[in-house]
């Protein structure tokens, strides 16, 4: 704890759990949360939830599990570079999508239309850890899971790291999967995005992580530079138009919605 930044969230200062929990001799409270998440059934089920495509034929496409691991890896790199709490960051990253549907945005849209109050995967992720799995996690981890979506504001800098690294991860690996599926070609990415962020997923991730660390060192927030924030927003718009909204033929998207409606 002595080596952490003054801005870091200290496990000894956690706002606690809903139910008292026995202290561990060798693990911090956030390490305990990380372990509870990785050992729960919902975490294992992520391996069968596809990220974008309904039924990919090869093992090289991302699933919710591999996406989660990529988010955790990128987030930990940022947290370590900023001297923030890496254990808290990892726990939030590993739990952030536990309540996500299969089939990405298509699956979430289908359930959103079926449930009276709508469906939001971040809220379902909290329901998974609090009710279905009863993991009794700390306030800080639950807050990070609940608030990882763009419109939300996490209470900790560690939660903010996961919020941004989630986007860095999924936009870049979804480009890779879309090229593999022949929905996109390498040259389809707009030139200004490639020039601003990089020409390959690896180069873009490295550049975005370095920019995030550089711009977050001085202030009391986790942020990219204004020009790179704008470029990332343009990148996200491109992905929604070319991949997420048109990721499958209309027949396939209809099949997903019909399947989920029938199960529901």
pLDDT in tens, 65-98: 999 999 999 999 999 999 999 999 999 999 999 9
The distance of Cα 243 from the centroid of its chain, to the nearest Å, equals 18
Instruction: Determine, yes or no, domain membership for 140.
Output: yes
Instruction: Determine, yes or no, domain membership for 42.
Output: yes
Instruction: Determine, yes or no, domain membership for 78.
Output: yes
* For residue 240, pLDDT beyond 80: yes
Tell me which of 41 and 104 has the higher pLDDT.
Answer: 41
DSSP 200-213: SHHHHHHHHHHHHH
Q: What is the CATH number of the domain that holds 150?
A: 1.10.3210.10
Q: Are 122 and 149 in contact (CB under 8 A)?
A: yes
- As for how many domains the chain has, the answer is 1
Q: What angle do CA 225, 84, 87 make, to 5 degrees?
A: 125
* For residue 1, pLDDT beyond 50: no
Rounded Cα distance, 228 and 208, in Å: 8
Domain of residue 99, residue span: 29-263
Instruction: Determine, yes or no, domain membership for 110.
Output: yes
- Structure token digits, residue 56: 């990919």
Question: Nearest 5°: phi and psi at 188?
Answer: -70, -25
Instruction: Determine, yes or no, domain membership for 136.
Output: yes
Residue 246, classed as helix, strand or coil, is coil
The distance of Cα 244 from the centroid of its chain, to the nearest Å, equals 16
Instruction: Determine, yes or no, domain membership for 17.
Output: no
pTM of the complete model beyond 0.85: yes
All residues at 6 or more sequence positions from 185 whose CB lies less than 8 Å from its CB, including other chains: 179
Rounded Cα distance, 9 and 162, in Å: 14
* For residue 247, pLDDT beyond 60: no
What are 181-229's pLDDT values in tens digits? 888 888 899 999 999 999 999 999 999 999 999 999 977 899 999 999 9
């Amino acid at each position: 704890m002595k080596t952490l930044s003054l801005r870091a969230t200290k496990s000894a200062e956690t706002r606690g759990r809903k139910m008292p929990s026995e202290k561990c001799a060798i693990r911090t409270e956030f390490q305990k949360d990380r372990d509870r998440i990785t050992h729960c059934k919902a975490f294992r089920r992520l391996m069968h939830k596809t990220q974008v495509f309904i039924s990919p034929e090869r093992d090289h496409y991302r699933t919710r599990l591999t996406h989660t691991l990529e988010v955790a890896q990128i987030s930990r790199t940022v947290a370590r570079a900023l001297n923030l709490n890496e254990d808290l960051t990892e726990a939030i990253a590993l739990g952030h999508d536990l309540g996500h549907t299969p089939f990405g945005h298509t699956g979430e849209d289908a359930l959103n239309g079926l449930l009276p109050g709508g469906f939001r995967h971040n809220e379902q992720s909290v329901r998974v850890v609090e009710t279905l799995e009863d993991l009794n996690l700390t306030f800080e981890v639950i807050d990070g899971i609940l608030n990882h979506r763009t419109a939300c504001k996490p209470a900790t800098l560690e939660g903010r790291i996961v919020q941004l690294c989630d986007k860095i991860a999924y936009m870049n690996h979804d480009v890779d999967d879309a090229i593999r599926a022949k929905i996109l070609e390498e040259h389809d990415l707009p030139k200004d995005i490639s020039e601003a962020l990089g020409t390959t997923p690896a180069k873009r991730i490295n550049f975005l992580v370095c920019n995030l660390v550089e711009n977050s060192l001085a202030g009391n927030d986790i942020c990219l530079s204004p020009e790179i924030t704008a470029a990332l927003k343009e990148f996200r718009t491109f992905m929604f138009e070319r991949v997420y909204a048109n990721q499958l033929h209309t027949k396939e998207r209809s099949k997903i919605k019909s399947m989920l409606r029938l199960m529901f």
